[in-house]
Amino acid sequence: MAEVTMPQLGETVTEGTITRWFKQVGDAVALDEALFEVSTDKVDTEVPSPVAGVLAEILAGEGDLVEVGQVLARVGEPGEPPAAEPLAADEPSPETVESGEVDPDHEPVAPPVDETPADTPASSSVVAEQDVVEPQPSAPPSSTGEPRPAAPAAPAAIVLSPVVRRLISENDLDPSTLTGTGLGGRITRADVEQAIRDRTTAAAETPSTAAAEAAPTAAAEAPSTAAAEAAPTASTVAPSAESTVPPPPAESAPPRKPRKPRRSAVPAVVARSGDSVVPLNNIRRRTAEHMVMSKQTSPHVLTAIEVDYEGVEAVRRASKQAWKAEEGFSLTYLPFIARAVIDALRDYPHLNASFGGDEIVVHANVNLAVAVDIDFQGLLAPVIHDADGKRLRQIARDIVDLANRARSRKLGPDDLAGGTFTVTNAGQYGTMMQFPIINQPQVAILSTDGVSRKPVVVTDTYGNESIAIHSVGVLAMAWDHRAFDGAYAAAFLHRVKEIIETRDWEAEIR
């Protein structure tokens, strides 16, 4: 019986969420036929079956978060009997009876719910996926020889994945109140997150009601509390008759210094009436985690340089109509900048590198990652592989193709793997200068900011200076100070500027 595991869908991908199973237990599966769909922080991918046969067992339900290499299903040969059903929680396995230990590979399945009388209180217990509820021994006979009443039946077990179990525990939820929408009614991560959102919304809508109900109670309790504090104790009013020495005066304790409230590192956020609670989607959550990790990993430094794009602008104006007719998209500044960056990386190879432990890996090829916004829901950085072997026209085509496929969720794992340097284009919104965050484990990322018409000083062939109106913009680069120093970063940016301002771009796009 072959095992189907969670594949590696990119260098930095360590886990994913099962979003859909295309086959059910007992279905025939062909080699390379789509078996399930998995969503990661990078891409949604249909995973094909590595073998042909019959789907014998599904070990991870829809909505479960699974790690790379984790066994998700088993596929058997046609005609092979399906995997043995695991024992119910109240049936001990032979290994348990003989050795007292539980098989770690044994996964419990919730037994059918027994019909109980209406006056019998129902209860439930949460069982971890790798845990087994120990069977209860039958009650021994009483000393009178009459049989003791039978012990109540074991409660029905609820099978939860580790991630779901952690979310339930952290948010103090009762799993018996949750409705599962996963495979076989299983409670998924989405079910728990929805319950958390519902509870938060309900709490936000009734804060004033709770305060109003609490006010009368507090007022009613206040007089009795004050009277109790004012009333002297019995020993103070009437000392014992047997005592001939008057009691010493009570010593008042020195006033205590009020404690300063301890400040939390992260203040709690309370949703108030009218607020909207927006849960993070998968891409947004993973982007947030990656950005925080990057800031904690690399000492970020920002270096920026102003670039005169007038030579580029002249070519764009002259070629825009013919380019649009031939290529089907507009010619922007980004391909020119990308072409200049690729060439400059040959002269400054330590920027085309990755940081790993106590060493820097300087890459032989330039694999240029281009950050793409996904409708303001997160960022993906698909990669132009072997970009150092491409000219401007092909680079422009690759940028448009990757951006379109990223926004339509049609990227494959290879499109997101192997980047060695990243460019992010905030300039389309007219930014002046952006401080981007490094795409780990790379050592630098370049922000292409807005280009606008500005007065500049120009020098003619005779050395005379004058004022002219040119297209000018800023290139801002964040880099890892562990990899090199400021002079190296500044020299690289100066080389990019030089290429953009002096290259014969008209010959480049022919």
Residues taking part in catalysis: 481, 485
Q: ∠ CA(231), CA(234), CA(240), 5° rounding?
A: 155
Q: How far is it, in rounded angstroms, from Cα 446 to Cα 434? A: 9
Q: How far is it, in rounded angstroms, from Cα 443 to Cα 360? A: 9
β-pairing verdict for 34-39 and 44-48? antiparallel
Residues whose CB falls within 8 Å of the CB of residue 484, separated by 6 or more in sequence, listed in order: 350, 351, 443
Q: How is residue 12 annotated by DSSP? A: T
Residue at 22: amino acid letter: F
Helix, strand, coil % in the chain, rounded to nearest 5:
30, 25, 45
Q: ∠ CA(400), CA(403), CA(404), 5° rounding?
A: 85
Q: How is residue 397 annotated by DSSP? A: H
For 6, how many CA atoms within 13 A lie in the half-sphere containing its CB? 23
Say if residues 15 and 48 touch (Cβ distance below 8 Å): no
Say if residues 156 and 111 touch (Cβ distance below 8 Å): yes
DSSP assignment of 211-233? HHHHHHHHHHHHHHHHHHHHSPP
Can you name the residues that pair with 478 across neighbouring β-strands? 302, 445
